[in-house]
Structure 1
């Protein structure tokens, strides 16, 4: 089925590109038409997963340049900003925290101090995800680190397989809402939303805008999991095994201490970016580089570069290029005027519900957070441009909806990476069970929480 799906997607993408390229489209320049043809082809390739996204993204970027749709400087403009270096640095720092043993030590100490029952395990997973999101700026290594600690908890407490699956699912499900709290909580997609909005937002400003709504949604998610995934029996936690594991790590090593120092400095510089004026991307890459230096670092090694996925960087470059090249060629404006309603809802609550609905529907069809952000955010910014409000509003509303939404595992990489016996142990059944009712929570987040909160902050002022 997988190979047939890839073949169907490959042929369909080419057919759609040819049809759009040959069509007579009034009101759209030829460069915008070619951009649309290549963009839709690429999005179909992503949606059908015809190949690793790095390959299809590279093809899209090169074709934009070959067909002269825009200058390479704009097509690859993501690399001239600090965003890419934030992502590269984030992967390197995440690897340093994991490989040094610092993250594991923190997790064991937390579990020993606070975990006593199944309910406390679920709450502890959310708390640990929140704490480690400050130290490890990417959700996947955080989740796998927490999962490795939970594997010890599951084994030492003789937790039944059925309940162990619920714990594993929680580890990865918690990463979805918690990753939205900090700008560095998911260093891949959060900066992407800011880049597409075109409005500079610092670490503290992001936390002011997205922190409170995301914290509330994280708490709601925790309660939903406790309600939907009750244990089959009460659990007795044997903390001796975890104490032995912690003791096995030995006293805090020099490598851990140096890692703790650089991470602490990174957090302080992230939090004060509005004061010192250095973008957090430059801060992040410099901290990562310092971790490789003799005397002061000796944490990262040449092998650490293997933890930086080039295909993800190309994927992000292509996602940003869809928005930027689509904007410069008129594609975004044409889509907004042709596909979306002719009048923009003036009521912010209706607007939020509309953006959330469009985002969810397209995400259900395409199943890629980054791909949908690449299409929806630029279109919604063009759609609301006449309202006179900051582009942050449509960008963050769409981001909130897309980055929180999944029903099937493939629709969110945070859930996909944990799927299976060797990872989080859960199946598609668990994601559907939480994902379907969670759609209501997305509307609560965007319409009920963010609109009045952002109105209070003045984001809807013209």
Structure 2
């Protein structure tokens, strides 16, 4: 099936859309009917990877616009909000931190100071991911930067390939829970979850209060699970001298690094104080990126830096947001909730948390794509819980945690998929399954034992 997977997905998705369009669906408007057909077709296309997701997303947006399913102002509404410019700015800042050498310098400094054996290597991966999550607002460049440093550690300590695989796997696994601690930890999808909470505003500080502590707990659980499940075949002794050589090769801190450090520090301060100064963090992030390109005070980003902003990802996000927003305006979301979910939501918060988690995991197991499943599950759960009178943040964040932190196979999470392979993180599907299966149980613990009690403490429930 592998070779013909794209073609099979194209045929299945098209047939599904035609079949749904031919059905007589009671209680759903004509626009909602079209939205359901196009949305499910697109999700199938994404799940089967029939082509690069940007092209599939473009087709979906085109069909919505041409068939007058909703006004184009709604279909492309992502571009009229700060979220898209937060993502653009975040990619540019990530490029600046990586290309200036600041991130690499911090990583080598930490390793030279705190790393000595296998356990400390795994711990350092999580700590560095946490530190760099404030500096590089995207998990992939962070993970590859840390992996490049770990490659030096692996070589200098003569770590066996079997243990090197465990280190590489840890680098990319750590990026999942740690990226959810800060709103800017993954600027491509965290803002998408934050936007879904509307009309309740979720800024940088609000996100940290709501999601920070639970995701710190999730990160610690992940760390301990790795240490238990992936023990080294022999003890490791890190060659500090070789690490020091690498640090010396970097030389003294350059002017570009100092300017990068200044602008990133200012960004962090402005993100932390968004409720005080009142400027949306999207505009803050774009402002910092623009300042990094200015002469004298910046000089970090160049015309080539725009190559670090993936247009296809922006189109993908536009389509994913459109599924929820157009689905809401056409009645599709409410119809899905009424048809596929129980008539009423459980009153008990723990039962509700377990139910949302279970539904999210089942759909994510089938479709794989985090953003595609968010587009289906989150709007449906908002409609499902609308009569309960609870904060919209609760169903959104329970669903988001279950979707984004869940994986069994690499395709379930892009952070795991991009790291797979000998030339990247060195791991395979075997390592993903070994951690992913037991971690699926942890997701229920996170929602019912960690998130919901914490949200009750802070007055969200």
Distance 2:108 2:88 in 1: 28
In 1, Cα distance between equivalents of 2:324 and 2:196: 7
Cα distance in structure 1, aligned partners of 2:406 and 2:116: 31
Extract unaligned runs of 5+ from structure 2: none
Correspondence for 1:313: 314
Q: Which residue of 2 aligns with 1:406?
A: 407
Q: Where does 1:194-343 land on structure 2 (aligned, <5 Å)?
A: 194-198=194-198, 199-343=200-344
Give, in angstroms, the shift of residue 286 of structure 1: 0.7
1:3 is paired with a residue whose SS is: coil
How do residues 77-116 of structure 1 correspond to structure 2 at under 5 angstroms? 77-116=77-116
- 1:181 maps to what in 2? 181
Structure 1 position 2, deviation (Å): 3.0
**Shift in Å, 1:324:** 0.2
Counterpart position of 2:131: 131
Does 1:349 find its partner at 2:350?
A: yes
Q: 1 CA distance for matches of 2:307 and 2:53?
A: 18
Equivalent residues, number: 460
Shift of 1:3: 3.3
SS class of match (1:185): helix
Contact 1:103 1:132 (C-alpha < 8 Å) held by counterparts: yes
Once the two structures are superposed, residues 405-459 of structure 1 have per-residue CA deviations (whole angstroms, 9 ceiling, x without a partner) of 0000011000001000110000110010000000111111111111111112222
The residue that corresponds to 2:457 in the other structure is 456
Q: SS at 1:45's partner residue?
A: helix
* Contact 2:195–2:202 (CA under 8 A) maintained in structure 1: no
Deviation track 1:226-284 (CA, whole Å, cap 9, x = no partner) reads 00000000011101111111100110000000000000000000000000000101000
Q: 3-state DSSP class of the match of 1:51?
A: coil
Give the Å deviation of 1:103: 0.2
- 2:27 corresponds in structure 1 to 27
Equivalent pair of 1:28/1:334 in contact (CA under 8 Å): yes
Mapped partners of 2:189, 2:337: distance in 1: 23
Query: 2:60 maps to which residue?
Result: 60
Tell me the CA shift for residue 202 of structure 1. Answer: 1.2
3-state SS, counterpart of residue 186 of structure 2: coil
* CA deviation map 1:322-349 (0-9, x unaligned): 0000000000000000010112101110
In the TM superposition, residue 19 of structure 1 has moved relative to its aligned partner by 1.0
Q: CA deviation at 1:372?
A: 0.4
CA distance in 2, matches of 1:56, 1:459: 37
User: Aligned to 1:184, what secondary structure does the other structure show?
Assistant: helix
1:22 CA displacement: 1.5
Separation in structure 2 between the aligned mates of residue 196 and residue 375 of structure 1, nearest angstrom? 12
Aligned-pair CA distance for 1:4:
1.1
- Helix, strand or coil: the match of 1:2? coil
2: distance between equivalents of 1:133 and 1:89?
15
Structure 1: give runs of 5+ residues left out of the alignment. none
CA distance in 2 between partners of 1:197 and 1:380 (Å): 11
CA distance in 2 between partners of 1:254 and 1:441 (Å): 45
Shift of 1:195: 1.1
User: Are the aligned partners of 2:31 and 2:69 in contact in 1 as well (CA < 8 Å)?
Assistant: yes
Runs of 4+ aligned residues of structure 1 deviating over 6 Å after TM superposition are none
Note the C-alpha offset of 1:295.
Answer: 0.8
Secondary structure at the aligned position of 2:4 is classed as helix
Q: How does 1:115-154 map to 2 (within 5 A)?
A: 115-154=115-154
Counterparts of 1:333 and 1:202 in 2: how far apart (Å)? 27
SS in 2 for 1:294: coil
Aligned residue in 2 for 1:13: 13
Q: How does 1:436-447 map to 2 (within 5 A)?
A: 436-447=437-448
SS in 2 for 1:181: coil
Q: CA deviation at 1:118?
A: 0.2
Q: When the two structures are superposed, what TM-score results if normalisation uses the length of structure 1?
A: 0.99
Output the aligned Cα RMSD: 0.6
Is 1:38 the counterpart of 2:38? The answer is yes
- What whole-Å deviation, never above 9, does each CA across 1:284-305 have from its counterpart, x for those lacking one? 0110010001011000011111
Deviations 1:40-89 (A, max 9, x none): 00000001111110000000001000000000000000000000001111
2:98–2:104 Cα contact (<8 Å) kept? yes
2:372 alignment counterpart = 371
Q: Distance in 2 between matches of 1:447 and 1:46?
A: 30
Q: What secondary structure does 2:25 align onto? A: coil
Contact 1:196/1:324 (<8 A) preserved: no
Distance 1:338 1:145 in 2: 46
Check the 8 A contact 1:290/1:296 in 2, yes or no. Answer: yes
By how many angstroms is 1:35 displaced?
A: 0.4
